[in-house]
Amino acid sequence: MSDRENLFRPIHKGIRLMLYQLGSGLQAQSFVDTSASNEAVARIKRDLGNSLSSCLLCLLTAHAGHEEKDIFSKIRVHDPEVVALVMKEHGEVARRIHKVATMCDEVIGTTDLARRIEVGDRFIEEVNDLVALYLGHLNREETLLVPVMWQWFNDQEIRAMRMVFYDHLPLSLFETWLRWALPALNQEELIVLYSGLKTPPLSPRLKDWVRLAHENLPLERWLALREGVGVDLPWDFHTTRS
């Protein structure tokens, strides 16, 4: 693993964890169980269009918008063709998200049990297609964009982009992202991320970064992170947790 700043790693790992859990939950879902399957589908669709929501589809949509506004605008100056490619993929992802959202309504509105099985199978196929597309898209973003960023921006400049990207989010959305992203990082990646937070420009949410690590990492990982990063962060949380 490179010790250079990688702007995409935390949030992309969080998205992958979301997608893996989404797929895992749907595989065993019985659409004959109307109540349980409608609840599962509604959870996916919940508050679609509200970027402050913690629902999966909302987060994917919001993520694309923040990338385009806060990151791609800076990379486009140096490699417009690569940015155009990933922007085109964002358009296809948005189309697939809309299709999944529409099928959520179809599943919930179907009462005939035999028909529900058919619609449910098609719904899972659409979700599988979205997951496959999005996982490939994340890989391509990293493969294409990270080398461009490392060529044209130093680590301090990349950290400044991270501060804009994360810290200008509403606090509730920032917290939601980190609850997914932090547990998805391995210990070395966590140490690189939090070591970077000690270097200017300092995040105005530095205490929130540390608090969310404390809240969302197992105790042994939290303690190892503190030891690996050193004392230059506000680690003033009790280590005993219920």
pLDDT score recorded for residue 165: 78
Domain that holds residue 184: 9-229
Residue 132: Cβ within 10 Å count:
13
pTM: 0.83
Average pLDDT over residues 19-30: 86
What tokens appear for 130 in the block?
Answer: 């979205």
- Measured between alpha carbons, how far is residue 125 from residues 58, 70, 132 in Å? 20, 33, 10
- Residues 64-107: tens digit of each pLDDT: 566 666 778 888 889 989 888 888 888 888 888 888 888 999 99
Looking up residue 155, the CATH number of its domain turns out to be 1.20.120
**Looking at the domain assignment, is residue 93 inside a domain?**
yes
How many domains, in total, are found in the chain?
1
Q: Is the pLDDT of residue 208 over 90?
A: yes
83-87, 163-167, 182-186: segment of lowest average pLDDT: 163-167
**Looking at the domain assignment, is residue 236 inside a domain?**
no
Pairwise pLDDT comparison (149 vs 70), residue with the higher score? 149
Burial class (CB in 10 A: 0-12, 13-18, 19+), 103: buried
**Looking at the domain assignment, is residue 189 inside a domain?**
yes
> What is the spatial distance between Cα 70 and Cα 74, in angstroms, rounded to a whole number?
7
pLDDT score recorded for residue 27: 86
Q: Is the pLDDT of residue 242 over 80?
A: no
Write the CB contacts of 208 (distance below 8 Å, at least 6 apart in sequence): 171, 174, 175
**Looking at the domain assignment, is residue 179 inside a domain?**
yes
**Looking at the domain assignment, is residue 24 inside a domain?**
yes
> What is the spatial distance between Cα 239 and Cα 36, in angstroms, rounded to a whole number?
38
**Looking at the domain assignment, is residue 21 inside a domain?**
yes
Burial class (CB in 10 A: 0-12, 13-18, 19+), 39: exposed
**Looking at the domain assignment, is residue 16 inside a domain?**
yes
